[in-house]
Structure 1
Amino acid sequence: MSDSGYPSESEPRKVSQLSRALSIASGEAKITFRNKTVLSGALIIPLAFGAFYIFAGSAPGSPVLQIVFLLTLVSLMGVYLTVTTTLATRREELFLKRLRSGESSDGAIFAGMLLPSVVLVVLQLAVILTAMFGRGAQLPEQPALLLAAGLLVIAMSAGCGLLTAVYTPSAAAAQITVMPFLLLVLGTAIWTIALPGGDWRTLQLLSPGGALAMLVGQAWSAAPVWSDWVPAAGVLLAWTLLFGYYGRRTFRWEKR
């Protein structure tokens, strides 16, 4: 292994792709904590949102809107923005091109690049939600559905970050290229919660924010309706697979 923490081209071939992915992730995690721009998006801003929710206390009535906002903002800032910025930066530095010329597969490189931000956000959300519920926020009737919603929105954010990085020429440009999807998720989530059902239900369900809101809403239902939460989870999974597929297929390894 090289001094940077990444697998060198001279390593024996017996090293598995999983080991290579973990080595890439370890090196990238070290770099993340040295880069103030990436660190603010991956750690400081999500924790600031979390601290606000913890100390502001639970809003009266259903906590669905509050939890949807929390999952969306922490996941999109901690994973989506971080992944987009990291991939654009490392491509601009030609690091991805050099890394790809070694023995690591494309999948191992992507996994290594995405893993640090995903793990960090999972830990952040676990700490924030535990603190919120510990301070008296209403507990979900179906915690498994809340867990599924959290994992799916994180996975979707990672997949969309991979795709958005294709159209992001630099780290500075990431502040702009991530805005459309961020606003789409937040906007459709608010729309779905504020105006549930009606003639727009199908369109709400098919949107990433709407599907997330429906799935979180079912987590606080004493009798969840499978015809509501199953399609919502399926839509989030479909968006994740779609983003991941086209992101990997169209990804550029060299700067323009």
Structure 2
Amino acid sequence: MTSLAIAEWKQFRRNKVILSMVLITALGVPALMMGTLSTDTPEDARASGGIALELFLLLAALLVLYYSVLSMTTTRRDEGVLKRLRTGEATDVQILMAICAPSTIFVLIAGIAMPGLVLAMGSAIPVNPALYVVALVLSVVVAASLAFITSAFTKNAEAAQITSMPIVVLGMASQSGVRGLMPDNAQQIIDNTPFALLMDLVNLGWSGNPGAIVLSGTDAGFTPMAAGDVWQEGGIMVAKLLAWCVVLVVAAKHYMQWETRR
């Protein structure tokens, strides 16, 4: 698996333009957003940092993980690489993990760097950093599984720009600020989708409140919930996310196409 992952990494890093754009977007945009939100006190900055980290994780999951894995899987399938690899010693799981390895490493490194940037900009220490770490790890499973599922309905790498749109739209609609503008019924549905749960878990772990409360601008948005309540609320979110992960992994295994069907 290591040799496969190294080969995928070499392919991934060759596209300097994509790497530069991903770095600027995934880290730069949340940092700029952090600068536009309230940072008058460490507590205010912590609440603003939660929103910035929410945006970071969303962009990292969609742009780095989901889209790159989708493109690489589709390209390798069309080139017959996946079919050839299955005739070797590597298992199916190892092949898929190797495809995910480059973007996963990138996201995990950025996921460590971004909180440091938020703290450097004046944020108080996170309320429950463990929840942020869990969200970071589960985002890899969610995004990669969705990429493998989408690849089954993608004829070629160019078509990925179209077939990826439903997931991208769902991801963008999962932002706390966007959900707050939706009708109650629609918001309740979106609140329980994978990306929305990830966003809320990030905010809960960093600021001690879900993103919707932070964006309300009330004092409650800047005052963390009690530690016990954070763990309880976070546990519910993690349970829902784990259920989603199981469903998505099973679906990915079922729909995954290893060779082009013409």
If the TM-score is normalised by the length of the shorter chain, which range does it land in? 0.7 to 0.9
Gap change, CA 1:139 and 1:174, over 3 Å in 2: farther
* Aligned residue in 2 for 1:53: 30
Identity level (%): 27
* Aligned residue in 1 for 2:85: 99
CA distance in 2, matches of 1:206, 1:74: 20
TM-score (normalizing by structure 1): 0.81
In the alignment, is residue 177 of structure 1 matched against residue 182 of structure 2? no
* Aligned residue in 1 for 2:8: 28
In the alignment, is residue 228 of structure 1 matched against residue 233 of structure 2? yes
AA paired with 1:79?
A: L
CA distance in 1, matches of 2:141, 2:6: 20
Provide Cα deviations, 1:28-65, integer angstroms capped at 9, x if missing partner: 111112246xx61xx32331121233355442142233
1:242 is displaced (CA, Å) by 1.7
Q: 1:246 aligns with which of 222, 227, 251?
A: 251
Residue 69 of structure 1 contacts residue 186 of structure 1 at CA under 8 Å; is this kept in 2?
Answer: no
CA distance in 1, matches of 2:158, 2:190: 32
Residue 57 of structure 1 contacts residue 137 of structure 1 at CA under 8 Å; is this kept in 2?
Answer: no
CA distance in 1, matches of 2:202, 2:252: 27
CA distance in 2, matches of 1:132, 1:218: 15
CA distance in 2, matches of 1:179, 1:201: 20
Q: Secondary structure at the match of 2:30?
A: helix
* Aligned residue in 2 for 1:159: 145
Gap change, CA 1:240 and 1:133, over 3 Å in 2: same
AA paired with 2:5?
A: A
1:125 is displaced (CA, Å) by 2.2
CA distance in 2, matches of 1:194, 1:102: 50
Structure of higher RCO (CA pairs closer than 8 Å, 6+ residues apart): 2
Aligned pairs for 1:50-199 within 5 A: 50-54=27-31, 57-58=34-35, 59-60=37-38, 61=44, 62-63=47-48, 64-190=50-176, 194=180
Q: Secondary structure at the match of 2:14?
A: coil
CA distance in 2, matches of 1:116, 1:181: 21
Gap change, CA 1:205 and 1:236, over 3 Å in 2: same
Deviates more, 1:183-192 or 1:77-86: 183-192
Gap change, CA 1:134 and 1:34, over 3 Å in 2: same
AA paired with 2:134?
A: A
CA distance in 1, matches of 2:124, 2:185: 30
Provide Cα deviations, 1:39-97, integer angstroms capped at 9, x if missing partner: 61xx3233112123335544214223322111101121110001000000000101111
1:25 is displaced (CA, Å) by 0.5
Gap change, CA 1:81 and 1:207, over 3 Å in 2: same
Q: Runs of 5+ in structure 1 lacking a partner?
A: 1-20
1:202 is displaced (CA, Å) by 4.9
Q: Runs of 5+ in structure 2 lacking a partner?
A: 39-43, 209-223
Paired residues, number = 232
1:150 is displaced (CA, Å) by 1.6
AA paired with 2:259?
A: E
AA paired with 2:104?
A: V
* Aligned residue in 2 for 1:44: 20
1:216 is displaced (CA, Å) by 2.1
Gap change, CA 1:193 and 1:150, over 3 Å in 2: farther
